Amino acid sequence: MLDLIEELWFLKRDIVSDDFDRALYRLAGEVPNMKIHQYPTGEPCWTWRIPEKWTCHEAYLETLDGRRLIDYGDNPLHVVSYSLPYEGVVTRQELMEHLHVHPRMPDAIPFVFKYYDRDWGLCASQTLRDSLNEERYRVVIRSDFKPGTLKVGEVVVQGESQKTFVIVAHLCHPAMVNDDLSGVVVGLGAAKALLAGSQPYYTYRFLILPETIGSVAYLSHNEALIPDMVGGLFLEMLGNDQPHALQGSYMPSSQADRCLVSALGVLDPDSYCSPYRQVINNDERQFNAPGVRIPMLSLSRVERRSSPTWPYPEYHSSLDTPAIVTQERLEASKGIVLELIRSWERNQYVVNKFKGEIFCSGHGIWIDYRTNPEGHRRLFEIMERCDGEHSVADIAVELNIPFQAVWEVVEKLHSKDL
């Protein structure tokens, strides 16, 4: 996955842009069946409209004697995404109102975007900004806005059921890696693994899209699919050195929430779970929103909210480069996504064929309370909830034990045809 990141990370993947398309088509080459949805500029999407394609041909800041201080060619982050074009000489004070810096890291260029509330703008390090002591500067931003199409890539893994689990990652953060390319490659990796396996029970839809407007565009043009979408997971920030954070959906008692939350602890003992909107906000908002209400969780590697460097130190800056992600961590996250999916596949309502308590010793599942009182107690606690009205996740949540521990017992009962 790191190779794909190396190849694509520095592209200017603004929300509707040629480089976004280049990256998406390159990713499409990784799987046999990615469908690319296109939504033209101006198309209404519920309360939104698709914006124009934005291109920045050239941009720089110079002293009046031609010394170049900032050049878009060096780093796409030097220009505010969707900046208006501008050419002219400005006073230092005027410049300062349009020159964005990072609030915490003096040597980083910040990521700034003004998709709808537009202005012209440049970004630079605090260090560079502090060094500006001339009275006037020349600004050149040769950007334009043209009709184009917003694109959403979709990989479908058809299951036995039309009931669908949606996995989403966004691709629109130019020249950055952990946020957001890491989520894209982990998601795509999981999709490839699923395609290579036997047919799952649920159908899975993997979506790669520009943040927010991409989700709104897709959902508003696929309303008929929404009722079948019974759960989802948003992926992002999965290469950096932090524990996994699972953010619950707007509907914390949904089967998706219960299942994934009860399964995570075993998969990463350092992980933690937080309620909706308490880890970080992304596309899961559109899926959880009124009129949609798909319980979509999110998985990321994010510092605790109280940390001064939340969500991670290099967030939304030019320091979010391949240097802060590792193949090992990406693989670990992919493994966790696949294990969460495995639990989700196993999360059925446990229908008892038996009545009364099971004749455990007669079926070889007896755990002696004299030698293993805890195991004995748990066996009975689980068995007595196998009544057709509890899912595996319901039992796990009710007993406050891992999904996997419940599954182990249920699987044993199932194998004995009980």
Answer for which of 6, 58, 119, 387 binds its own copies (CB under 8 A) is 387
If the CB atoms of residues 268 and 284 are measured against its own copies, the closer one turns out to be 284
| Residue 418 structure tokens | 């009980």
Judged by CB under 8 A, how many residues of this single chain contact its own copies? 41
Answer for which of 196, 356, 371, 400 binds its own copies (CB under 8 A) is 356
If the CB atoms of residues 48 and 272 are measured against its own copies, the closer one turns out to be 48
Compute the distance between CA of residue 187 and CA of residue 190 in angstroms, rounded to an integer: 5
Q: Minimal distance in Å, beta carbon 42 to its own copies?
A: 12
Annotate 343-366 with b (16+ C-beta within 10 A) or e (fewer): bbebbeebeeeeeeebebeeeebe
* Region near its own copies per CB under 8 A, out of 165-173, 198-206, 341-349, 361-369: 361-369
* Region near its own copies per CB under 8 A, out of 6-14, 134-142, 144-152, 359-367: 359-367
| Residue 359 structure tokens | 């004749």
Are 61 and 69 spatial neighbours (Cβ–Cβ below 8 Å)? yes
If the CB atoms of residues 140 and 399 are measured against its own copies, the closer one turns out to be 399
* Residue whose C-alpha is closest to residue 233's, from 274, 314, 289, 294: 294
> Residue 401, exposed/middle/buried by CB under 10 A (0-12, 13-18, 19+)?
middle
Which residues in the 181-220 window bind its own copies by CB under 8 A? 212, 215-216, 219-220
Q: Taking CB under 8 A as the rule, does residue 362 contact its own copies?
A: yes
Q: Taking CB under 8 A as the rule, does residue 250 contact its own copies?
A: yes
Q: Taking CB under 8 A as the rule, does residue 357 contact its own copies?
A: yes
Q: Can you say how many angstroms the Cα of residue 363 is from the centroid of all Cα atoms in its chain?
A: 45
Q: Taking CB under 8 A as the rule, does residue 290 contact its own copies?
A: yes
Q: Taking CB under 8 A as the rule, does residue 66 contact its own copies?
A: no
β 99-100/122-123 pair status: parallel
Q: Taking CB under 8 A as the rule, does residue 166 contact its own copies?
A: no
Are 289 and 276 spatial neighbours (Cβ–Cβ below 8 Å)? no
Q: Taking CB under 8 A as the rule, does residue 272 contact its own copies?
A: no
Q: Minimal distance in Å, beta carbon 283 to its own copies?
A: 10
Compute the distance between CA of residue 415 and CA of residue 418 in angstroms, rounded to an integer: 8
Compute the distance between CA of residue 361 and CA of residue 282 in angstroms, rounded to an integer: 51
Answer for which of 10, 352, 367, 401 binds its own copies (CB under 8 A) is 352
Determine the residue type at 247: Q
Answer for which of 355, 371, 374, 400 binds its own copies (CB under 8 A) is 355
Which residues in the 31-60 window bind its own copies by CB under 8 A? 46-49
Looking at the DSSP bridge assignments, the partners of residue 59 are 141
If the CB atoms of residues 15 and 59 are measured against its own copies, the closer one turns out to be 15
Q: Minimal distance in Å, beta carbon 177 to its own copies?
A: 24
> Angle at which helices 403-415 and 373-383 pack, to 10 degrees?
70
Which residues in the 102-131 window bind its own copies by CB under 8 A? 116-117
If the CB atoms of residues 40 and 197 are measured against its own copies, the closer one turns out to be 40
φ/ψ of residue 110, rounded to 5: -80, 160
| Residue 415 structure tokens | 């194998």
Q: Minimal distance in Å, beta carbon 353 to its own copies?
A: 9
φ/ψ of residue 136, rounded to 5: -140, 150
Q: Taking CB under 8 A as the rule, does residue 286 contact its own copies?
A: yes
> Angle at which helices 373-383 and 392-399 pack, to 10 degrees?
130
Q: Which residues bind its own copies (CB under 8 A)?
A: 46-49, 116-117, 212, 215-216, 219-220, 223, 250, 277, 285-286, 288-293, 352, 354-359, 361-363, 366, 380, 383-388, 418
